[in-house]
Amino acid sequence: MAKKRVPAIEGWFTTGDTPSLLGTRGSESGSYFFPPQIAVSRDPNAVGEDYEPVELSREGSVWSYTTNHYAPPEPYVSPDPFVPYTVVAVELDTEKMVVLGQYEGDPEADGLSVGSRVELVEGILYEDDSTEYTVWMWRKAGA
């Protein structure tokens, strides 16, 4: 039987083949915020403005990236044995903000460098016997 797929966190991204990060946008300033966790606009030039939920751009440019070779402490759920993973910081063109995410793929084989184009996907963060817990990830654009 196929495992259930469940987002590892509710309300931060849409799921499926073309997922998006869910942020908020200030109605006056047009400034963007992610994650959507705190229901306020943090732009000091538009104090008290309304904000609305918004899907963020699904593509961006690599600001930087790194591959971790040691298992992080809890609450990270590491496979056993541990598998190195890549974290990438991505600059979104419209939102003019940098968002972190894990990278799906091999950065070396993909020739990843500062400025490379990447796109958002839904990937498996960890799993147990019955469920795959998913999270947003970035991969090489057009892969």
Partner 1 sequence: MSAGGHDVAVLGVGMHPWGKWGRNFVEYGVAAARDALSDAGVDWRDIQFVAGGETVRNGYPGYVAAATFTQALGWNGARVASSYAACASGVTALETARAQILAGLVDVALVVGADTTPKGFLAPTAGERPDDPDWLRFRLLGATNPTYFALYARRRIDLYGATTDDFAAVKVKNARHGLTNPYARYRKEFTLDDVRNSPIVSDPLRLLEICATSDGAAAVVLSSVDYARSHAGGSPVRIRAVSTVTPTYPNTVIEMPNFATDSAASAPPPERGFRDSVAAAAYEQAGLGPEDLDLAEVYDLSTALELDWYENIGLCKQGEAERLLRDGQTTHGGSCVVNPSGGLACFGEAVPAQAIAQVCEVTWHLRGQAGERQVEGARCGLTINQGLFGHGSSVILST
Among 81, 96, 109, 129, binds partner 1 (CB under 8 A): 96
Residue whose pair of structure tokens reads 């541990």 in the numeric block = 82
Neighbour tally for 96: CB within 10 Å: 9
Roughly how many angstroms between the first and final C-alpha of the chain, as a whole number? Answer: 29
9 contacts partner 1 (rule: CB under 8 A)? yes
Q: Which helix (H) or strand (E) holds 61?
A: strand 59-68
94 contacts partner 1 (rule: CB under 8 A)? yes
Binding mask 113-142 for partner 1 (x = CB under 8 A): xxx---------x---------x-------
Structure tokens at 90: 């991505």
Residues that bind partner 1 (CB under 8 A): 8-9, 26, 29-35, 37, 42-46, 63-70, 72-77, 85, 87, 89, 94-102, 113-115, 125, 135
